[in-house]
Chains A and B, each alone.
Chain A
Amino acid sequence: MMRPETEAELAGIVAGAEGPLRIEGGGTRGMVGAEGDALSVAGLSGVVLYEPGALTLVVRAGTPLAEVEAVLAGEGQRLAFEPMDHRRLLGRDGVPTIGGVAAANVSGPRRVQAGACRDAMLGVRFVDGRGRVIRNGGRVMKNVTGYDLVKLMAGSRGTLGVLTELAVKVLPVPEAAAVLVLEGLDPQAAVAAMSAALGSPFEVSAAAHLPEAGETWLRLEGFAASVAYRAGRLGALLDRFGPARVVEAPEEVAAMIRRLRDVEDFADRPGDVWRISVQPSDGPRAAEAVAAEAAIYDWGGGLVWVLVPEGHDIRPALAGLAGHAVRVRGAGPLASPEPAPLAALAARLRAEFDPRGLFNPGAMG
């Protein structure tokens, strides 16, 4: 495995590469479908600039996620998009890196309120397929200077370039958090309850339904007095869905969100795991269409985690629904195909950014 310590060294390796490269952050997820010589970005590590007063962090791509989170916690801040830790679900070791999170646009339960990883990304540096260092964006929250390649890099799985550094917007950790728990709802009723909650002015920062637990969770965050007030008002608003229990103990709230975020319920069970993105009201239909053995609804019903038998390709069953599916655990096809004109654009884009086809061939399906 190649493990450069500097951006220049990495650029040199890419420029001189003669065959495919498998780009790795911490190797947490195992690059699905990728082949070639392993190129680790883990050596490019450390905080470049942290300005709590400007809510911005500039960090090298190989920096462990845990280190990023610890640095932010030291100043009472955090990554708003709450990235999942894949290790338990995938049964893998490794050290998740911020670059790996960005390259896969990994966003957790708070995505419904605070946006995705891509929304928090302000700037990038990356090495393209010619071995050139490219910069895009910056470290300010409003920036429309030229094209937004930052978004293009988010979720591109290393196929357009090797991320070496990124600037992200961070947010303050609020004083308190609570989870309102509704019980015994079927998926349709749960989505209706979550839609009512997310359509209320009470600033719900996570909305999930766990059918196996028979629970629907609505998280509130903010000043303690505000959380208490909103929990009361939200409970009253959702009265028709039955009585609500409020969980306030910080450790308990954190454990619930970790269980949801990391899809812990599917961790030790056999089968493939897919994530399906649809409009929230289609969530239950999606789970039913793919005959899921088990489902977990996040993002108010818009993100459905499904557990299906090994090797089962769920994509044909979803053909009638707008949205997409991505396999997270198991072998076989990776994601829903794009419409032909977009697939053609994708091929041309890859050819422009990586003309020799070095980066993670196979990683975008």
Chain B
Amino acid sequence: MQMPAPDARVMAKKDHVLRRLMAVLPEDAVIHDPTATRAYECDALTAYRCPPLAAVLPASTAEVAAVLKICHEERVPVVPRGSGTSLAGGALPTADSVILGVARLNEVLEVDYPNRFIRVQAGRTNLSVTGAVEGDGWFYAPDPSSQLACAIAGNIGMNSGGAHCLKYGVTTNNLLGVTLVMMDGTVVEIGGAHLDAAGYDWLGVICGSEGQLGVVTEATLRILPKPEGARPVLMGFDSSEVAGACVADIIRAGVLPVAIEFMDRPCIAATEAFAGAGYPDCEALLIVEVEGCPAEIDEQLALIKRIAEGHRPVALRESGSAEESARIWLGRKSAFGAMGQLGDYMCLDGTIPVSALPEVLRRIGELSAEMGLRVANVFHAGDGNMHPLILFDANAPGDLERCEALGAEILKLCVKAGGCLTGEHGVGVEKRDLMGVQYRPEDLDAQMRVKDVFDPDWLLNPAKVFPLEASAGRRAG
């Protein structure tokens, strides 16, 4: 993975830039000591690291605007950072960049139940947004698995999803408004407590733009009343393909579970050893959760179980209590931790049409055997968002390269099946150079024109999303 060479002019004026930043921010909000900036050298994609020029931690929209104005005038690249949980390297610095962390922007500004929204500063963590309203029976729907740590700013940047998107959608479907600071320091309010836009849908294009169009400092989010109840059912199958076929049949039948989670044998074995959830010994299992009123739950689960029976399940276990529900979810929720116990792994994020699940799972199995690397599958099956985990040994020469090659093959397979490279993690630097697999040059050019409009000098979050050769002409300016 290549990053552009740092701009020598910026590196040479580091002290000058720091002095200007310190003039507009409190002393402890400008981090420049080389040992301290190490904390910002990478995000959750730890394979790539680069300490930034400096990191700043503004505590207000005005401070963010002041920082951006200075960086704009000095032509210093800026890398916005939420909580640094990106799995795609979305917050990877360049040596000539300033990290703009939103961690100090963490207040709840307004909660309005009659109008069904919450307004927060964008550094607030995802789970704490729900935390602010759950006592009153409400929740914020998008629930990425990093929700304890990840910031709303990062969720907006990456258009984060989660386990419950099948029913509630992803971030873009739950975002009502933002305060956006543009690279030149201009502050704009977009959307609000009302629905939809009279002009262009700016909110829609900002969400998922990976921090390349502006810095979000505040967000108005849709909140929902909690359902009366929820109940999961666990089903084990003889093969991954059969489990995949069962998923497609459930969707086809007109029921809309709130979540359908999939795990295959390698993943089941690892989580059993780690968490001991008592999962059945089988090739693949599904956790299907439905929610709503008691009548709704009974009827939906009855239908789902009927469909599952047609696929000859080796196990079928409906929860009868809160404890049993927690036990059913235990293994799934500890899956990523459990896989970590097995050694190094790379987590992919390709999405495919649900109908293609059986075929794609079969093909992943073949590719895994061909390349001699084990692949464990654990993912949100209901919306086709796969997370194949490729197991490798970082200390074995050539293993990482083989792993990357297999990952690229699997992602190409997803695109070929009618899907995409990334369903919820984002492109970042990780999938940047694969963009050509999904999009033609003119498709990428159209996206880059939007970047030109918002950030003509291409200073925001450099070297992400677009292949370097595709953006070369623009970045040079």
A interface with B by C-beta (< 8 Å): 51-56, 76-77, 105, 107, 111, 115-116, 118-119, 128, 132-136, 138-152, 154-156, 160, 171-174, 191-192, 195, 198-203, 222-223, 225-226, 228-230, 233, 277-281, 299, 302-303, 322-326, 335-336, 338-339, 341-342, 345-346, 348-349, 352-353, 364-365
Contacts and interface: CB of A to CB of B under 8 A. Distances in A.
B69 to A, nearest CB: 14
Contacts of A325: 198
B404 interface: no
B422 A144 contact: yes
A319 to B, nearest CB: 14
Given A152-B204, A172-B255, A338-B198, A147 B453 contact: no
Contact of B420 (A77, A138, A195): A138
Contacts of B294: 229
Given A140-B351, A146-B427, A280-B115, A132 B198 contact: no
Interface of B: 112-117, 137-138, 158-159, 161, 165-166, 169-170, 172-173, 182, 186, 188-190, 192-205, 207-209, 225-228, 248-249, 251-256, 292-296, 299-300, 351-356, 380, 383-385, 418-427, 431, 435, 438-440, 442-444, 446-447, 449-454, 465
A156 B450 CA distance: 14
Nearest to A123: B420
A141 B112 CA distance: 29
Given A140-B420, A146-B439, A225-B299, 14 more contacts: A54-B251, A105-B201, A111-B195, A142-B165, A144-B426, A148-B205, A148-B207, A149-B446, A154-B201, A154-B204, A195-B116, A225-B296, A230-B293, A277-B194
B353 A51 contact: yes
- The CB with the most chain A CB atoms within 10 A, among B138, B190, B435, B453, is that of B453
25 contacts: A51-B353, A53-B354, A54-B355, A56-B353, A105-B201, A119-B169, A136-B446, A140-B352, A143-B423, A144-B423, A145-B421, A147-B450, A148-B207, A151-B172, A151-B207, A152-B200, A156-B201, A203-B292, A226-B293, A279-B112, A325-B198, A335-B199, A345-B202, A352-B450, A364-B200
Nearest to A161: B446
B385 A365 contact: no
B228 A142 contact: no
B161 A142 contact: yes
B442 A299 contact: no
Contacts of A341: 182, 186, 188
Contacts of B425: 144
Contacts of A199: 113-114, 116, 138, 225
Given A136-B446, A142-B351, A277 B204 contact: no
Nearest to A286: B194
A160 B254 CA distance: 36
A226 B385 contact: no
Given A51-B355, A118-B204, A199-B116, A128 B228 contact: no
A156 B196 CA distance: 12
Which 5 residue pairs of A and B lie closest in terms of their CB atoms, listed nearest first? A151-B204, A172-B254, A142-B423, A279-B193, A324-B198
Contacts of B451: 147
Contacts of B440: 135
B196 A107 contact: yes
Contact of B192 (A111, A323, A335): A323
A147 B442 contact: no
A203 to B, nearest CB: 7
A138 B421 CA distance: 11
Contacts of B208: 144, 147-148
A188 B72 CA distance: 48
B196 A277 contact: yes
A142 B293 CA distance: 27
Nearest to B466: A146
Contacts of A150: 204
B189 A277 contact: no
A168 to B, nearest CB: 13
A349 B228 contact: no
A320 B255 CA distance: 44
Contacts of B435: 145-146
A139 B447 contact: no
A155 B200 contact: yes
A346 B200 contact: yes
A141 B353 CA distance: 8
A233 B293 CA distance: 10
A199 B442 CA distance: 45
A348 B452 CA distance: 9
B318 to A, nearest CB: 18
A342 B192 contact: no
Given A54-B355, A201-B228, A147 B194 contact: no
A281 B114 contact: yes
Given A76-B254, A339-B189, A352-B449, A142 B170 contact: yes
B405 to A, nearest CB: 20
Contacts of A135: 439-440, 443
A111 B351 CA distance: 26
- The CB with the most chain A CB atoms within 10 A, among B190, B195, B199, B227, is that of B199
Contacts of B172: 119, 148, 151
A192 B137 CA distance: 18
B159 A148 contact: yes
A348 B184 CA distance: 16
Contact of A299 (B138, B195, B253, B454): B195
A105 B353 contact: no
Given A144-B422, A195-B115, A346-B199, A353 B225 contact: no
Given A145-B421, A323-B194, A198 B116 contact: yes
A146 B471 CA distance: 13
B194 A278 contact: yes
A58 to B, nearest CB: 9
A348 B200 CA distance: 12
A352 B192 CA distance: 27
